[in-house]
Structure 1
Amino acid sequence: MARVEEGMPYGWGRLYAAFHVLEGLARGRTELGLPAKLKETVGRPRTTFESLLGKAGIQVLAAREKGGDRARAVETVFADVAKLIRPEPMIRRGLSQAEAEEFRQGYEHQLGLYRAEWEALVV
């Protein structure tokens, strides 16, 4: 049996965390928790990620213009976005309850990694 960490929903949760942190870095926000749109995301993963990708470039620019640690952090987060997009088709259907839980676990895992690396930027 495969580990949860190897599954697509877990990986998508990690990807969503990267986008969430990217948005926070661009806006100058530091406090992040489970986003209000999480339910929408697990209901339509591919549609949500297509929308987030469309906003990512301007968010990278905004965060880089802030300079300092924020600019350095966004380099890593933006690279993570590319690494976390799996080289396989992403489903358009909603996630089951079990898959949604795996998604949440992946989200929290990735957010924890960012918090450990940039304590002052991601709370």
Structure 2
Amino acid sequence: MCPGCNKVKALTKVWLNVEGQQFDPIASKIAFERVFKGMFGMTTDPAAVQDLEGKLVRVLDIYEARLSKSEFLACDCFTLADLHHLPVIHYLMGTDSKALFESRPKFCEWVKKITARPAWAKVVDLQKQ
């Protein structure tokens, strides 16, 4: 096993937990309000969006601090921890909530890197079919 592999595995697990317990529950609710409700003929609740975005800001500040120390969440290479963020980030980047991402330079840079991956471009293309 390579030196540092255990550390990368551990950090990947940490960030998978952060994504699953802190980021995704809030971000997915924002996506539901801003994207999916419209698909079902429902009306977005601006108060709910504002409340959720206020909660997401605190989480994004933690990501910004982490991404100022490494290129990706677990280390300086793309891991499963980064991959797990792609679906909800994809939806939120098509909404006004993307301003929350864009106001954090390191987070914004990370989003550009992970969404520019060729495999993700294929996923997006498949959704368009």
TM-score for the superposition, normalised by structure 1: 0.31
Point out which structure has higher relative CO (alpha carbons under 8 A, 6+ apart): 1
Greater gyration radius: 2
